[in-house]
Amino acid sequence: MNDRAMVVCLGEILIDFMPEQSGQALERVPAFQRAAGGAPANVAAAVAKLGGASRFIGKVGSDAFGNYLHSTLIAAGVEAALVETEEARTGLAFVSLRHDGERDFLFYRDPAADMLLKDEEIEEEWLEDAAIYHFGSVSLISEPCRTATLEAARKVKQAGGLISYDPNLRPALWPDEETMRQEVLQHIGLADVLKVSEEEASFLLQCEPGEAVQQLLDMGARSVVVTRGEEGCCVVTKRAMTLVPGVRVKAVDTTGAGDSFVGAMLFKLAESGITAERLEGVFSDEAAVVQIFRFANKVGAITTTRRGAIPALPTLAEVEAL
């Protein structure tokens, strides 16, 4: 067992096809480059590239892209707990970038291999050393991956691990927006750390962000981390609220920025040995919050200055040099 606290991420892993030129609508992009992607996989890679211990649990096709994703995780320092299948291909996403770094997506997932992960395919040893378990909402869209995701979360929570949940809303992948909203909100109570953007918080609760965050806490989240782009983030518990300023950079590609932010946050929590029981006290301490989230804001900012997700993730030395 690794002597560093293990961060376990579960969910989608896929190939992002990124445009070689920014500023064009998706139908006008002449050429793409492949890059490993998928939010939970990005988080695991962010933790590993910073020097932490991480494991990614997911499913890929028995194909060339599945092999590429496996080798990419290993190269990033992630322990790859991957199940292979011949039932479906590895998922694909084509991305276009505006000049400001924001994105449009076109997904090929009908189904993708990651959607077919079964609870019984997750080996006990993949979860038993999890200090932190992280998941998102894309793996909650359909069975059997929905049950696999939630059962793993419950097992880690029962064993005393800390649960991180980033809904990372992708409406294009859901049957409709109301189904997405209800499914995401149903599992808020699992989260020790819930990460949402201001826009996601407002969308989920259909109200302004401040009121939405209070409702999320009332629904059982132990803490809510609200990202605010270049303005930084806001960390809220029932006892305190702390604003942490962002880092201004010239964004090239925002792909993976939120995931790298989450990875940096989890890296710091794991490094400090913060448990679920201690989390609210730590997140109510302004000095502790500023230390953790100034770091996370830096990591997220650096990621936006490079193209792709996993290829853009910084090392600890690069963050400290900023």
Name, in order, each residue with C-beta under 8 angstroms of 35's C-beta and a sequence gap of 6 or more.
15, 16, 17, 18, 255, 307, 308, 309, 310, 311
CB 22, CB 50: distance < 8 Å: no
Sequence length of the chain is 322
Return left, alpha or beta for 118; rule: phi > 0 is left, psi -120 to 50 is alpha, else beta.
Answer: beta
pLDDT tens for residues 109-137? 989 999 999 999 999 999 999 999 999 99
**Hey, what domains does the chain have and what are their CATH numbers?**
6-321 (3.40.1190.20)
Query: Can you tell me the distance from the alpha carbon of 93 to that of 310, in angstroms, rounded to the nearest whole number?
Result: 15
Q: Residue 10: is its pLDDT beyond 60? A: yes
Secondary structure of residue 242 in the 3-state scheme: strand
- How open is the CA angle 223-43-36, to the nearest 5 degrees? 150
Could you tell me the pLDDT band of residue 251, with boundaries at 50, 70 and 90?
confident
Q: Residue 102: is its pLDDT beyond 80? A: no
Could you tell me the pLDDT band of residue 101, with boundaries at 50, 70 and 90?
low
C-beta neighbour count of 181 within 10 angstroms? 18
Name, in order, each residue with C-beta under 8 angstroms of 214's C-beta and a sequence gap of 6 or more.
none
Name, in order, each residue with C-beta under 8 angstroms of 159's C-beta and a sequence gap of 6 or more.
127, 128, 130
pLDDT tens for residues 52-98? 999 999 999 999 999 999 999 999 999 999 999 999 999 999 988 77
pLDDT tens for residues 178-219? 999 999 999 999 999 999 999 999 999 999 999 999 999 999
Q: How much of the chain, in percent, has pLDDT values that exceed 90? A: 83
Q: What's residue 90's pLDDT?
A: 98
Query: Would you say the C-alpha torsion 22, 25, 30, 32 has a positive or negative sign?
Result: positive
Could you tell me the pLDDT band of residue 1, with boundaries at 50, 70 and 90?
very low
Could you tell me the pLDDT band of residue 23, with boundaries at 50, 70 and 90?
confident
**Average of per-residue pLDDT across 306-322:** 88
- Identify the H or E element spanning 156: helix 145-158
Query: Can you tell me the distance from the alpha carbon of 223 to that of 123, in angstroms, rounded to the nearest whole number?
Result: 29
C-beta neighbour count of 158 within 10 angstroms? 8
Return the minimum-mean-pLDDT range out of 180-194, 262-276, 287-301, 305-319: 305-319
Higher-confidence position of 16 and 79: 79
* Phi, psi angles (nearest 5°) of residue 159: -85, 0
List the one residue out of 205, 213, 275 whose CA is nearest residue 243. 213
Query: Can you tell me the distance from the alpha carbon of 126 to that of 22, in angstroms, rounded to the nearest whole number?
Result: 39
Token pair of 51 as six digits: 């020097």
Name, in order, each residue with C-beta under 8 angstroms of 33's C-beta and a sequence gap of 6 or more.
17, 18, 19, 20, 307, 308
